[in-house]
Chains A and B, each alone.
Chain A
Amino acid sequence: MMENMKLIADHLVYEYNKGTNQTVRALDDVSFVIHPGEFLGLIGHTGSGKSTLVQHLNALLRPDGGTIYYDGADVFEKSYDRKALRGKVGLVFQYPEHQLFEETVFKEVCFGPNNMGLDIKEVEQRAYAAIARVGLTEECLDQSPFDLSGGQKRRVAIASVLAMQPEILVLDEPTAGLDPKGRDELLSMIMDLRETEGISIVLVSHSMEDVAEYVDRIIVMDKGKILYDDTPKVVFAHAKELEAIGLSAPQVTYILQDLKSAGLDVDTTGITLAEARNTILEALHWKG
């Protein structure tokens, strides 16, 4: 059973501002599993504990209660090599500005694998592969990462984590601030990554559309607790409950519901554009 569970979060508890009168419980008894090759979506309102949670996945934060098992080993055990863990659970933060520092994109991407102590040949090989992987062109290699556009910077940040060849890739709001085209490109790149490399992906997002379109499973967080942990269809069937915690179902789902109440016989469980189109066409066809 163990090999079917890459990472297990076991009753995590985490508090900010401990020992003051403003203690905030950011994680409250959070447990879940990440399977190999899975595409997991993590959604929640601002302050629901998403970002705190992802920082536990690669042991950047130490929980006040509970623990994380990676490949069956407790990562907060004293002798556990947490630095190596960070190569296996690659975490890409939201703002690439927080990590870009090298003179060239190539050197920037080499930073990760370099820290793993690989030999120079392997490092460069991995860097080239990762840069190609995220769709950056060769001209970018010798450019300064600070001269790139927002979307390109984000790709550099992702490449620099990918170059460590993680088994789980965690992306914290990778599409925030990108235009629709950049967003689609980035997400299909990530999708492609999972299909060709078979790595698990955790996507933290604000956008219900992104999540509905791509992920296999959704975890909904609210006030530090897990509210739902299920397939997108099941989760988005709870549109009312999601709205109560400041989230929503995808836009197309609302359109389908409106169509239904207007008398068109459509399937309201559709959550992606493609599903909506099919069910609408079907309904019209049957009618006509």
Chain B
Amino acid sequence: MLRDITIGQYYSADSVLHRLDPRTKLVGTLIYLVSLFLFATPLVYVPATLFLMIVIFSSKVPFGYMVKGLKPVLFLLLFTVLMNMIFVKGEVIATIWKIEITKEGLKQSLLMGARLILLILGSNVMTLTTTPTRLTNAMESVMRPLKLIRVPVHEIAMMMSIALRFIPILLDETDKIMKAQMARGADFESGNLVKKAKSLIPVLVPLFISAFRRANDLAMAMEARCYHGGEGRTQMKPLRYTGRDYAAYMILLLYLAGVIVTGKYSTEVLDWIGVR
């Protein structure tokens, strides 16, 4: 059950995307996310979806596995879509009980839904194809200029990588604890909300204890290896751009240009393909 959560998890495979420099992927993801918010016309979702499909395909991560990552945010997704559908005012096309569904609301909610899905899938591609260590390396490197204004960049990156590293460990642990309690007759599914919340105590107590113990052990292990923060620290595998990365940046720029063109001239584009 808990194993189904794929957000923030690495999927090991050998693809072009896996071999890209993590900085490229980080910047690329940022550009992609920004591109989704540049224009409000539905037409930009055509290049955006197309681009994402190609990227997902080239990542060699099974599409089903990718979509599983949407599961935990399904509620948020439905909530956003429903809220938009109900509360946006405009031309009424249907009335259910006292709720008026408007044309604008429907359009808005579909846009929002599509945007959220692309947003999540887009960032999922990055985390699925990049190990947490490489990802935080990339963050550290991208944020380096902030050091000038005394932002503890290395420390932040280290904290991020530890947090990311702990997600699968704690998920695994939660799974084990839940099983151990279920073996003693615990029931996490039935009952009302209060009962359900109460039934989580036997899971949360061992989980917190184990998290603290792990944190303690980790701190000790880091001390034992003389870790003392970022000052003068070098990396075993420093990040280096290769031809592949420059090519990726070119493709990204082309995509961005494509989005801007479709967004800016959406009416003309629609005219041109003859739909309207």
Contacts and interface: CB of A to CB of B under 8 A. Distances in A.
Interface string A96-120: 0111110000000001101110000
Nearest to A116: B185
A20 B61 CA distance: 8
Contacts of A116: 185
Interface string A54-81: 0100101000000000000000000000
A22 B177 CA distance: 24
A260 B64 CA distance: 61
A161 B184 CA distance: 6
12 contacts: A19-B64, A20-B62, A21-B60, A55-B179, A60-B183, A86-B185, A92-B183, A98-B180, A98-B206, A100-B206, A111-B181, A115-B185
Nearest to B174: A98
B184 A20 contact: no
A238 interface: no
A259 B30 CA distance: 72
Given A98-B180, A111-B202, A164-B185, 20 more contacts: A19-B62, A19-B64, A20-B11, A86-B183, A93-B183, A97-B206, A98-B173, A98-B206, A98-B210, A99-B177, A99-B202, A101-B205, A111-B185, A111-B186, A114-B185, A115-B184, A116-B185, A146-B209, A160-B184, A164-B184
Interface in A140-163: 146, 160-161
B183 A161 contact: yes
A91 B183 CA distance: 6
A99 B11 contact: no
A60 B188 CA distance: 13
Nearest to A161: B184
A114 B184 CA distance: 9
A93 B182 contact: no
Contacts of A95: 176
A90 interface: yes
B13 interface: yes
A95 B179 CA distance: 12
Interface string B5-31: 000000111000000000000000000
Interface string B57-73: 00010101100000000
A116 B183 CA distance: 11
A104 to B, nearest CB: 13
A117 to B, nearest CB: 9
B186 A115 contact: yes
A115 B62 CA distance: 41
A86 B184 contact: yes
Contact of A97 (B183, B186, B210): B210
B247 interface: no
B96 interface: no
Contact count band on A: 20 to 34
Interface in B173-199: 173, 176-177, 179-187
A20 B59 CA distance: 13
Contacts of A161: 183-184
A263 to B, nearest CB: 52
B184 A112 contact: yes
Residue among A19, A21, A99, A161 facing the most chain B CB atoms (10 A cut-off): A99
B206 A83 contact: no
Given A19-B65, A20-B62, A99-B206, A83 B187 contact: yes
B13 A21 contact: yes
A87 interface: yes
B12 A22 contact: yes
Nearest to A20: B65
Contacts of B176: 93, 95, 98
A83 B179 contact: no
B64 A58 contact: no
A55 B180 CA distance: 10
A115 B180 contact: no
B185 A87 contact: yes
A144 B65 CA distance: 43
Contacts of B64: 19
B273 interface: no
B2 interface: no
Contact of B181 (A19, A99, A146): A99
Nearest to B184: A112
Contacts of B236: none
B148 interface: no
B26 to A, nearest CB: 24
A161 B182 CA distance: 11
Nearest to A146: B209
Contacts of B202: 99, 101, 111
B56 to A, nearest CB: 15
Interface in B53-98: 60, 62, 64-65
Contact of B187 (A90, A93, A115, A164): A115
